[in-house]
Amino acid sequence: MPLIASRYGKEQVRVMRLTRDGDHHTPRELTLSVMLTGRFDAAWTEGDNRACIATDSIKNIVNVTAARNLALDKEAFVAAVARVLLDTYPQIEMVAIEAEETRWLRHSIDGQPHGHTFTRDGNGVGFVALVADRAGSTLRSGLRGYTFMKTTQSGWTGFVADQYRTLPDTTDRIAATSMDATWTWAAVPAACETANARILATLLAVFGTTYSRGVQDSMYRMGEAALAAVQDISEITFVMPNKHYIPVDLTAFSLDNPGTVFLPTDQPYGRIEATVSRGG
């Protein structure tokens, strides 16, 4: 029976390229599908894999191309990946690449674009909850899934060092999260929209402009600042899962990675929760 169509490749290849110009960083994050068509029929019809390129090699080609082309836009980058594949493997007849871009928007603090703090485009949803009875009511507002990142000024040090821990300490890493934040109103302000915007701006300013010793450290100081900025809220609750950006090891390809090429991954993830209250 004839084999009339076949192809294979690598899906969900995630890569972050980070260009650094002093304190001014630019992240470029893509999730790629790379599919190959060519003279691979024997792998299907005869169990002969000698012409087949390992899909792990396809992933590695994406990462190596990223390291060598940090500043290319997404259109030029997928073309560069395709060119490496076609130039390297004569058995490939066609490369089909699709890439979805995670768009990071540079955040402004005090009216100035910040060098290394970003929010995700199309970000988060507003949240409100009311519980009311005849004696009164409790109103809460907040955000769900609000995603933000800073590409430096964050560390991970001093955690329990036992036989199960494998992560090394680091004083400079990407810190990213998809935050759920809920604040409880002690008194409903005249303009909730304005107060909500001020709370968010305060949270992001603290996150972006202060060194983070861990999510817990940033979370507590963000909560303190929000309570100080808006007197109408009595407490604020956070759920902040880690979104990890893991430096890609390129030593097998004789390439350094000075904090410029990362594997974005959010499964599994650390989940950090806390409530900061005015007390009393």
Q: How many CA atoms lie within 13 A of 4 on its CB side?
A: 1
Name the active-site residue from 10, 25, 107, 116.
10
**Gap between the Cα atoms of 206 and 170, Å rounded:** 21
Is 56 annotated as belonging to a binding site?
yes
Is 163 annotated as belonging to a binding site?
no
Name the active-site residue from 31, 55, 102, 237.
55
Is 20 annotated as belonging to a binding site?
no
Contact 195, 230 (CB under 8 A): yes
Q: Is 150 a catalytic residue?
A: no
Name the active-site residue from 25, 152, 244, 260.
244
Q: Is 74 a catalytic residue?
A: no
Scan for tokens 């964050």, then name that residue: 154
Instruction: Give residue 67's Cα distance to chain centre.
Output: 18
Element (H, E) at 109: strand 104-109
Element (H, E) at 240: strand 233-241
Is 242 annotated as belonging to a binding site?
yes
Is 216 annotated as belonging to a binding site?
yes
**Gap between the Cα atoms of 46 and 222, Å rounded:** 61
Contact 248, 276 (CB under 8 A): no
Q: Is 59 a catalytic residue?
A: no
Residue 155 makes CB contacts below 8 A (sequence gap 6+) with: 169, 170, 171, 172, 173, 211, 212, 213, 214
Residue positions forming the annotated binding site: 55-56, 173, 215-216, 242
Residue positions forming the annotated binding site for urate: 55-56, 173, 215-216, 242
Give the active site residues.
Answer: 10, 55, 244
Residue positions forming the annotated binding site for 5-hydroxyisourate: 55-56, 173, 215-216, 242
